[in-house]
Amino acid sequence: METQAAVDRFLSSPGLSEATRRAYRSDLRDFAGWLDDGGIALDAVDTRALAAYTAELGRARRGLAPATIARRLSAVRSLLRFTRGAEHVPEAALAPRRPRRLPDVPRLSEVEALVDGLDRDGPLGTRDRALVELVYSCGLRSAEAVALDLGDVDFDREVVHVRGKGGKERVVPLGEEAAALLALYLRDGRPQLARGACDALFLSARGNRLDTSVLRRLVRNPHRLRHGYATHLLEGGADLRTIQELLGHASLSTTQVYSHVDARRLRRVYDRSHPRS
């Protein structure tokens, strides 16, 4: 199997988001070059070959961080799964252990100040406040927020239909604050931005679907709002399994980065409730 042709087919698959496609393109170019240099066919990649590639990534002259090595191996496994089927993907744990970093979580007062500090005037101001509030209130990734269509918001049922990574869909509750700002935007803002038949919920000044760069200009790190969403729900009593479903995480292990919050909450419950606490 010609490696680069297989990589190109994989990168053109509709199941990948544009951000994932960009990240995988660089990672898989490196892997394809390593295979070519070693005269290894893609069909011949097994646990031993992946271990050798991992060792190469970890050599001092490369100096790659554990998180980078893990990401590259994830890209390679996705390629093999797409090309050869899941049963032919080596699943041995090869990536070096990464130091656990706790998410950077904004306080509720910081989120409120951020939304209140946005420009309120005109259709763009109305749009921006609705967008930022929705990202926080629903725990959306930036790409998920700008990918929303008009039909994805159900005001009657108070839910939002979200298309997440890998084409996976989920339904998340729509909070009152977000619903109010969205309704205001749809009434007073979006009609002034619309230029034609575009189903996108959030429109640019030219009437096109909004780009994630606009959100990054409004919020320096929009993903902190998603961290805040998960953390504030946990502090309010939600369990990790529910948070996993609301965030659209494929594995509970991804959600467990917030377990330190759950542990603090359980300690407070214990101190308040147990007779010998």
Sequence-ordered list of residues with C-beta below 8 angstroms from that of 131, at least 6 positions apart, any chain: 145, 202, 210, 214, 215, 218
Contact between residue 35 and residue 3 where contact means Cβ atoms under 8 Å apart: yes
Is 161 catalytic? The answer is: no
How far is it, in rounded angstroms, from Cα 126 to Cα 120?
6
Would the pTM of this model clear 0.75, i.e. be above it?
no
Residues 151 and 44 in one domain: no
On whether the CB atoms of residues 128 and 134 are closer than 8 A, the answer is no
Q: Are residues 157 and 244 in the same domain?
A: yes
Could you confirm whether 141 is annotated as catalytic? yes
274: annotated active-site residue: no
Per annotation, catalytic residue among 72, 127, 141, 227: 141
Q: Which of 127, 226, 227, 232 is catalytic?
A: 226
pLDDT, averaged per 10 consecutive residues of the chain (277 residues), comes to 86 85 89 91 88 82 76 88 83 60 79 88 94 96 95 96 89 94 96 90 95 93 91 85 89 74 63 68
Active site residue 216: no
Among 34, 55, 88, where does a domain finish?
Answer: 88
Kindly report the CATH number assigned to the domain that includes residue 13.
1.10.150
- Same-domain check for residues 129 and 239: yes
**223 carries an active-site annotation:** yes
Residues 113 and 205 in one domain: yes
Residues 235 and 139 in one domain: yes
Which tokens sit at 161?
Answer: 């239909």
In a domain, 30, yes or no: yes
Q: HEC string of 104-148?
A: CCCCHHHHHHHHHCCCCCHHHHHHHHHHHHHHHHHCCCHHHHHCC
**pLDDT of the residue at 124:** 95
**Domain end point (choices 55, 88, 121):** 88
Give the rounded distance of the alpha carbon of 115 from its chain centre.
21
Fill in the DSSP letter of residue 203: B
**In the chain, what are the helix, strand and coil shares in percent, each to the nearest 5?**
60, 5, 30
Residue 168 among the catalytic residues: no
For residue 260, the domain's CATH number is: 1.10.443.10
Dihedrals phi, psi of 173, to nearest 5 degrees:
-65, 145
Q: Name the residue range of residue 29's domain.
A: 3-88
Q: Is residue 154 domain-resident? A: yes
> Residues 72, 190, 232, 249: which is the catalytic one?
249
pLDDT of amino acid 269: 60
Q: Would you state the pLDDT for residue 234?
A: 84
Boundary-marking domain end, from 22, 54, 88: 88
264 occurs within a structural domain: yes
Structurally, how many domains does the chain consist of? 2
Residue 104 pLDDT: 78
> In this structure, are 216 and 157 located in the same domain?
yes
Please check whether residue 115 lies inside any domain of the structure: yes
